[in-house]
Amino acid sequence: MKRIILFIFFFVSISISAQTKYMIYFKDKGIDYKDRLSKTSEFYKEAEKELSSRAIERRKKVLGEDYIDYSDIKINAEYINKIEKKGIEIVHVLKWFNAVSAFLTSDEYNELILLPFVEKIEIIKTLKSESNYSYLIGTIPEGSDKASPNFTYDYGSSLNQNILSDVPFVHDMGITGEGVFIGLLDTGFRWKSNPPLRGRNVIAEYDFVQKDGVTANETGDVLDQDSHGTSVFSLIGGFQNGEMIGPAFNAQFALAKTEYVPTETNIEEDNYVAAMEWLEGLGVDLTSSSLGYSTFDKDQRSYSYADMNGSTSLVSKATDIAFSKGVVTFTSAGNERSTSWGYITTPADAYNILSVGSVTGSGGVSYFSSFGPTSDGRIKPEIAAQGSNTYRVTTSGNYSYGSGTSFSCPIAAGVTSLLMSAYPYLKNTQVREIMMQSASNSESPNNDIGWGIVSALKAVTYPNLRESNGNIVITKAFQNPNQMNLQTLKLHFKGSSGIEQVIAMNYQGGYVFTTNLPQFVNDESIVFYFTYESSEGLSKREPANSEKSYKMYGGKLNIITSAKSEEEIVLPEEYILVQNYPNPFNGSTLITFLSKDNNYAEVEVFNVLGEKIKTLFSGIASVGKNNIYWNGTNDLGESIASGSYIYSLKINGTVLNKKLLYLK
C-alpha cells in the first residue's frame, strides 16, 4: 500500500508543470463556517470597511440589515504571510472564494498542498475566445446615415441600433442613465482622448493584468489591446451628437481591464473574479462583460456543454455572488451558432445573469448568435439587442461597423440602465424580471432570443412595486401623459375572492402615476390592468388586449405577464428547501435547496424519533440552486430501513424540514 501511495504522489508531482497559475483554497478564514457573524466582531467591521457607502446601500435593498456574509470576510492574513514567506508571490486575493492565486512550481505545489490550512489547489483556467469573436465586420446598413427624426438628440449612424430598442423615446422623456453606476470588464479602454468617451463620468479604472491604474494601452500591451473595450464603452455610454450615442451616456462608469491580448483574446478566471469583487465593493449597480468562453489554452481541459450549468466555472459563480449582493449582471451570449459548439458560453450559463443574444437591424436572429439552453435546461439567452452591424468608435476616434454579441450586450445593458435611472429603488431581481417581461418575445421565450429584443420604452412604462412606510406602492409610467385625461387613470385588480376592485391612480408629475395597494395575503395571486381616457375622450386599456392582464403575488415585488418566467430559477429572496424527487424512492433521490447568499449550511436526514441518520451536506452554500443526491444509506454507508424520514436544512439561523419516504 505504501508503494502505491508513493507512486501516486510521485506521478502527481512530475505531472504538474512549472510556472503554472493556481487557485489556493483555504479551509477557513480564522472564523468557523458555522459561527454566525456578530456585527460587533472585528471580522464584521473589517469586512464593512471594504465596502463603499454606495455598495452598502445597494446591498440593503436586497439583503436588509444583514448585508455582510461569510464571503465578505477577509482572508486570514497569517495564511497569506506563510505562503509569501516561501518566496511565492500572490497574484490576487479572492475573498469570495477564500482563495488566492499564484504561480507555482511543482515543488511549491507539493509543499503547499500539505499545509494544514490549505483545503485544495486547482489550476486556474485560461479561457480563450473563438476566432472572430468580436470583429465580425459587416457592410454599412441601408439607411444608417439618415438623420434622427424629431428626437432630442441626433444619433447619426447609431440611430438604428438605438431605435430598435426604443432608446430615443426614453431619452426624450429625460432619462439618460443619470444616477446609475456601471462596471465594465473588457480588454482595456482608450477613453480619455476619444471624442464620444472623453466627457464620460469615469469614477475608477484598474488594470487587473498589469496591476495598475491604466486601462488604455501601455508598455507591455500589444497593438490595439484596448480596441474591443473602447468600442464596448462607446456602445453603452458614448456621446457625440450627430455621430453616435449610447443609451446610458449620463451614467457613471468603473473600468476593469481583465483580458490579455497577445495574438488572441485570453482571460484568466482569477482576473475576472478579482474585477467583480472590486466593482461590487465600489458600489456599481450593474456590470457588463462582453466575454464568452468555452475553450481553454493548449494543454488545458476545455469546458464541455455539460459544464454550462451555472455552477461549474469560476466566472459564472462570481457573477451570481455579485447578483446576490444586489448587482445586475450582464454578459454576451457568445458567437458560436455557426460553429461545432453552437451553444452559449460561460458566464452566460450563470443562473441570474442576463445573457444577451444578437439580432440584425431588422430584428432577425444574427447568424453567429449562440443559442441555449443551458445543460440543465434553462432558457438562454434571456434577451437580445442589435449586434449585427453596430456603429461604434475605434481607438483612433474614428467610427466603423462591427458585429457580435460583444456589441449587443452593452446596448442591452445600457437600455437596462435607463430603467434603473428612472426607478432607483428597484431591486436587481425586479430589474431582471422587468427587462424580460417587457421584451418583444415574452409570451413565447425561446433559445434563440429568449424573452426577446429589449425595449427601453416598454421597460420604463412597465408597472413596478416598492415598499414605502409599510405600504406597497404600485408605479405606472406613460410616455405621453399630456395625451391623457389624468383624472381618469384607474387600476383594476382581482384577488383570490374573484371580486374586481378599482382604485384611482395619482399623478406625480412627469410621466409617473402611483397608488398604494391594499394588503394581500402572502402568495395570493392578483391580476390587474389599467384604464383611462385619452384627451380626445377615447377609452384606453393597458394591456391593450382585453384577454391579457398583469399578475403579481402577495408579499412579492415582481410583476409578470407570462407564465414562463415563474419557472425560471433566479436568486431567491429567502432560503428554500425543495421537496425531494422522486418521492417515494428506492434507488436515489434528488434533494435541492436554494440559498439567497453564501452562508454555512447543513442538510441532514433524521428518522421519526429525531435520531440523525445521515449528513448530506456541510459547507458553504452556493448562491441559487444546490443539488444533493442521496442513495438511502446512513453515515456508516449502511442501507437504511424502509419508512418515513425527515430531511432538514439549517442555514444562517433558519431551519427548514420536509418529509420523504424510502422504499426498498
Q: Does the structure show a pLDDT above 50 at 14?
A: no
The verdict on domain 464-567 having CATH code 2.60.40.10 is yes
Contacts of 75 (CB under 8 A, 6+ apart): 26, 29, 93, 94, 95, 98, 99, 100
Of the given ranges (48-57, 172-181, 222-231), which has the lowest mean pLDDT? 222-231
* % of the chain at pLDDT higher than 70: 89
Contacts of 104 (CB under 8 A, 6+ apart): 16, 19, 20, 21, 22, 88, 112, 121
pLDDT of amino acid 298: 54
CB 189 within 8 A of CB 288: no
Q: Does the structure show a pLDDT above 90 at 294?
A: no
> Quick one: 576-662 is in which CATH superfamily?
Macroglobulin (MG2) domain (2.60.40.1930)
Residue 159 grid coordinates? 440611430
pLDDT of amino acid 300: 55
Residue 1 banded pLDDT, cuts 50, 70, 90: very low
Q: Give the bridge partners for 429, in sequence order.
A: none
Residue 616, SS3? strand
- What CATH topology corresponds to 156-460? Rossmann fold (3.40.50)
pLDDT of amino acid 110: 96
What separation in angstroms does the CA of 512 have from each of 185, 462, 489? 34, 11, 11
**How many CB atoms neighbour CB 515 within 10 A?**
16
CB 439 within 8 A of CB 452: yes
Taking the C-alpha atoms of residue 155 and residue 161, their distance in angstroms, rounded to an integer, is 10
pTM: 0.86
pLDDT of amino acid 141: 52
What is the residue extent of each domain of the chain?
156-460, 464-567, 576-662
CB 578 within 8 A of CB 591: yes
> pLDDT by residue (tens digit) across 608-661?
888 899 999 877 787 778 888 899 999 888 889 888 899 999 998 899 999 998
Taking the C-alpha atoms of residue 44 and residue 58, their distance in angstroms, rounded to an integer, is 18
Q: How confident is the model over 227-247, as a mean pLDDT?
A: 97
Q: How confident is the model over 57-76, as a mean pLDDT?
A: 93
Q: How many CA atoms lie within 13 A of 542 on its CB side?
A: 15
Taking the C-alpha atoms of residue 308 and residue 316, their distance in angstroms, rounded to an integer, is 9
pLDDT of amino acid 124: 85
pLDDT of amino acid 13: 41
